Each structure stands twice: as structure tokens, then as C-alpha cells.
Amino acid sequence: MNSPVKPENRRVSVVPVAAPDSGYAWFILISCFFVFGLTFGVIKAFGVFYVEIHKHFETTAAGTSWITSIAVATLHVVAPVSSALSARYSPRSVVIWGGLICSIGVGCGSFARSLVELYLTVGFLNGFGYALTWTPTVTMLAVYFQKRRPLANALASSGECILTFILTPLFQLLIDSFSWRGALLILAGLQLNLCVCGMLLRPLETTTDVPISQVKEEEMRLWLQVASKEDVNEVQQRCDEAKGLKISEANCQWTSQEDTVNKPNVQTDSHPQTKMGKIRTQILRYADFTLITNARFLVYSMFGVFAALGFFAPGLFLVPYARSKGIAEYQAAALMSISAVLDLFGRVFFGWVANLRVVETVQQLTASVTLLGTTLLLCPLASSFPELAAFSAAYGLVYGATVAIHITVLGEVVGVQRLGSALGFFMLIRSSGGLLGPPIAGFFIDQMSDYGTGFLMAGVALIVSALFLLLLHQMNRRSQKSELKEIQDMT
């Protein structure tokens, strides 16, 4: 029989909730900037490889599109594993390993003798590495920024635009000089820079264990005043789930002082319920499965599924569509660069707008997604280079406005303390859309012999996704009214 635990010997893990928004946070932002560029930026610029691989293996549009589709789907499916590994070990080590896997996958893909080998290397292995790098870095960015979080997300995601702008003509030049195989080998070397991005990551502050007797009630009240409302609600919920237990530092929680002081004779190891509680707490540390009971999170995840159907197809098929209209190689590649420039402006400007809190971010996201879908539906009307350039500019602008804030909205839905697990599960649920989007678009292209039909499919999918955002907004309104009514009843 274990001896009773004395209240003065109980220890609590304390980490700060308020993020600095300055100092080393900007190095985290730089790391995230290049991670966005070397993952999603490469995916968007891969349309240049698409044309050459399509010719080399003499396959269908749908068959070639599976390379990007598998990479995107793997990135989404492995995201929860990436979140759990970062909680178990560290974001730094996970990102470094992810960079190595990306480089190995793309390097092996340069020697592929069939499409299946490209599916396994540039598709699966590369996507697996993307998941290990992208998810922990974005989560760290949310930890380091609080007041400027929308702007920080926008600036970091702009790395996707800038590197797309640079990589698209660079890939075309490398393909012309060294063939698509040589270009893939050089890309494998570029992917090693993801390891450097991982080296920049470090915890916000070292967690310290202090005796519970040293945690004053005044300090607790001060902490509650500093924490945002969503953080307080999140911590209160987690504390209710783990009363009487020592809470891990990964969840930034406090052990209940009242329960510790009033119940000094609790047997922490012998009681079956206590053991089950410890197991549950350990699982929640790595993967917060309670998110599946959050209706707002599930609605937002359905938005992600339909949005993913339309997100990745346009970038893959824009260059082939332009080539099919008789546009020269470098002019077709320049369309992606035009899109990237306006994408950059859209992310920074609309991220700044979101930071002003002029309108609710979910409303802003709904408007941008609807405009993005409408723009894609208009794409088949463009046939000349000036018309396609105008489409690319409009597409880049509204795409940037959408991507700038969709992670910010996810943080508002679940709270920043659960963002790591939520991002992993959100990516997992969204994986079906990322996997099926390009092949479905490729199927329509093969059937109709027109790349324009792929843009029509993507536009319809995005407009459907906006309907789920409207539902989420209504759920938010009802929740706010319910909370206001409870406050009025109490007073």
C-alpha cells in the first residue's frame, strides 16, 4: 500500500500561456516560411514536371496526377502521427527527420522506371516527409504568436507563394538543361534545407517543476487574467478531466490545488480509476481524441474535405491547360509566377485585415472561398495569354486570402491549446479531398479532352465547402447567444 501523498510534496508543471510575439518568435516564423515554400510551394510548382512525366510515360492525365495526389493525401493522413511524435520527442527532431525523408524520396524518384515507382517515392515518401515537417512547424508558430497570430500565419504561408514564384521557372530551366530526372535530383538537394528549418525550432520556455505549496492563489488569478478566454476555457476543461493527477507540461496545465490540499490521502497509484485517468491523460498528451465530439470542429473538417478537392487541382493543371491553348513553355510557367505574386499579396494583406478583427474571421474565410470557387468556374473562358494572366492574378489573390486565415479559424474553433492535435486530425479528415481532387479532375479532363473541365470541378467543390462555413457561423452565433443568456440568468 502506497503512502499518502503530502500536499507540500505535490509538484506541478508550469509553463507560460502568453506568447511573446517577438524576439525568437521571428526565427520560428522564418522557419515556417521556408517549410511552406519547400512543401506546398513545391507541390504547386510541380505542374512543370507534370507535362514532361506525362510525355515520358505516355500515360493519362489522371494517371500522372496521382503523383501529386498521393503526396498531398499522405501529408494529410500522417499529420496526426506527426503531432504525436512532436509531443513525444520534439518538433525539432521530427522536422529534421522529415526533411531527410523528403530528400530521399525525391532523390529516389529521379531514378524511377515507372509511374508506380514515382507514386512510392515522389508521392508517398515525399508526402510522409512533408507531414513530419509542416505540422510541427505550424503548431510551433501558433505557440510563439498570440496577438499577431493571424498576421504571423499569413507571413509564414507567404513562403509558399514566393518559392512557387521562384521554383516554377527554375524547374523549367532545370528540365530543359538536365531533363526531368536531373531536375528532381537537384530538387532533392533543395529539400535538405527543411532540416535547417527544423534546427531553428526550440521550445518557447523550459518547463519547470515547482512544489504545489509555492503556487499562490494570487499567481493563479494573475495567470487567469493574462490568458485569453479560449485558453481559460481549455485549461478548465482539461483540469476537470485530470483532477488529482500530475499534468504533463505539454498541455500547459496546472494541477488542481484545491483537490490536492483537501484530499491529501488520495492513493494515486492503487485506485483503478486513477490508473485509467493517468492512461487517458497520457493519450490526450499526444492525440486529443475528444475532438471528434466537438460538432464545430467536425463541421470545419467537412469544409476542409471539399476545399481540398478544389485546392490542389488548379495549380497542377494550369500549366498543361495553357500549353493546350498554344501558349509557349516559359509563358505557361510564368502564369504560375503571376499567380504566386498575387497570392503573396493576398496572404499578407488579408492576414493583416484579419488581425484588425474588423469582421469575424469565419465570415472573411467564407467570402474568400466563395470568390475562389467563382474564379475557377470562369477559367475555361480564358484562352489567350493576357486572359490567362488575368485569371492567374485573380486566382492567386483570392487563394492567398483563403489560405491566410484558414488555420487561424481552426485555432478559434478548438482553442490554441488543442491546435496541435486539432491540426493533425483536421489534416487527416481533409486527406480524402486532397487524395481524390486531382484524379477526379484528371478523369473529367480525360473524358472531355479539355483541361478546363478540371477547373470547373474544383470551383464547384469550393463553393460547396463555403456552405459548411456558413453552418459554422450559425453555430458560433447560437453558442454566443447561449453564453449571453447564461450570464444574464446569473446576474
State the 10-residue block means of pLDDT for the chain, 491 residues long. 45 48 83 91 83 83 82 83 83 92 93 91 92 88 81 83 85 90 93 92 59 42 42 48 40 38 44 57 58 84 88 78 85 84 86 83 91 91 90 90 83 75 76 78 82 88 93 85 74 67
Instruction: Say if strands 208-211 and 11-14 run parallel, antiparallel, or are unpaired.
Output: antiparallel
Q: Which fold has domain 25-203+290-483?
A: Growth Hormone; Chain: A; (1.20.1250)
Helix (H, G, I), strand (E, B) or coil at 267: coil
> Which amino acid is it at 86?
S
- Write out the three cell numbers for 100: 531527410
CA distance 448 to 275: 61
| The pLDDT of residue 223 | 40
Distances (CA, A) of 82 to 79, 98, 133: 5, 9, 8
Q: What is the pLDDT of residue 103?
A: 94
Would you state the pLDDT for residue 282? 53
Single-letter amino acid, residue 18: A
> Which of 9, 117, 47 minimizes the C-alpha distance to 335?
47
184: cell is: 528532381
pTM over 0.85: no
Cβ-Cβ contacts under 8 Å for 102 (sequence gap 6 or more): 38, 125, 126, 129, 130, 133, 188, 191, 194
pLDDT, residue 31, reads 92
CA atoms within 13 A of residue 472's CA, in its CB half-sphere: 27
Please tell me what DSSP assigns to residue 210: E
How large is the angle between the packed helices 329-356 and 47-57, nearest 10 degrees?
A: 140
Q: What is the pLDDT of residue 258?
A: 37
Burial of 264 (0-12, 13-18, 19+ CB in 10 A): middle
3-state secondary structure of 441: helix
Three-state DSSP class for residue 19: coil
Where are the chain's structural domains? Answer: 7-16+207-286, 25-203+290-483
Q: For residue 7, which of 218, 209, 211, 271 has the smallest C-alpha distance?
A: 211
Q: Which three cell numbers stand for residue 259?
A: 483537490
H or E segment and range at residue 97: helix 91-109
Measured CA to CA, the distance from residue 371 to residue 373 in angstroms comes to 5
Cell 500547459, residue? 252
Using CA atoms of 213, 219, 220, 221 in order, give the dihedral in degrees to the nearest 10: 140
Dihedral-angle region of residue 379 (phi above 0 means left; psi in -120 to 50 means alpha; beta otherwise): alpha
